[in-house]
Amino acid sequence: MQPIKVRSETAEDFRAIDVVNLSAFQGEAEAQLVSELRKSDGFVPDLSLVAELNGRIVGHVVLSRVKLKSASGESDILALGPMSVVPSQSHRGIGSELINAAIARARPLCYNAIVVAGYPGYYQRFGFRPASEWGLTSNLNIPEDALTAMELKEGALAGGGEVIYPDIFKMLF
């Protein structure tokens, strides 16, 4: 198998990323979310990554800024998602490559933590833990155990609080 190449998205990739999201999720909500995130204040271009295999885009992940409101104030952290891989290429480690690359790129950008809404069993293998361990909740309509988190800076989530996702995420949840 050819090596997977992970890189930042470019404007030329947008249509291919839409196709990846449409095929992975069998609906338009995730593709619309990615498009809306690109227009938002929370978008971080260096944290919207594609996976290429044989010159074709077969996966995508985006980390965007969200607010964490706690007793000590408000700060920016990152939300992972959506993450998608075309079904014909799933179970080949492409999602893992994307997630590991996104985490590695986020660390030097001085963000303190990453949260993920959904699929806790999948994300825990990358070091995400139940957000409730830190007393974190979110403004999304999801079960408490569906929110997981990872500290990029030790103690960053110690105060707990509420993760405030932008309204554009509510089309998924």
- The CA-based angle 43-36-156, given to 5 degrees, is 35
Q: Which 3 state secondary structure label does DSSP give 130?
A: strand
DSSP annotation of 140 reads S
Cα–Cα separations (whole angstroms), residue 126 to 70, 82, 97, 112, 154: 25, 16, 11, 16, 16
Report which residue type is found at 6: V
Tens digit of pLDDT at every position of the chain (173 positions): 578 999 999 999 999 999 999 999 988 999 999 999 999 999 999 999 999 999 999 999 999 999 999 998 999 999 999 999 999 998 899 999 999 999 999 999 999 999 999 999 999 999 999 999 999 999 999 999 999 999 999 999 999 999 999 999 987 77
How much is the pLDDT for 2? 75
How much is the pLDDT for 64? 98
List domains and CATH numbers for the chain.
Answer: 5-171 (3.40.630.30)
How much is the pLDDT for 1? 59
How much is the pLDDT for 171? 75
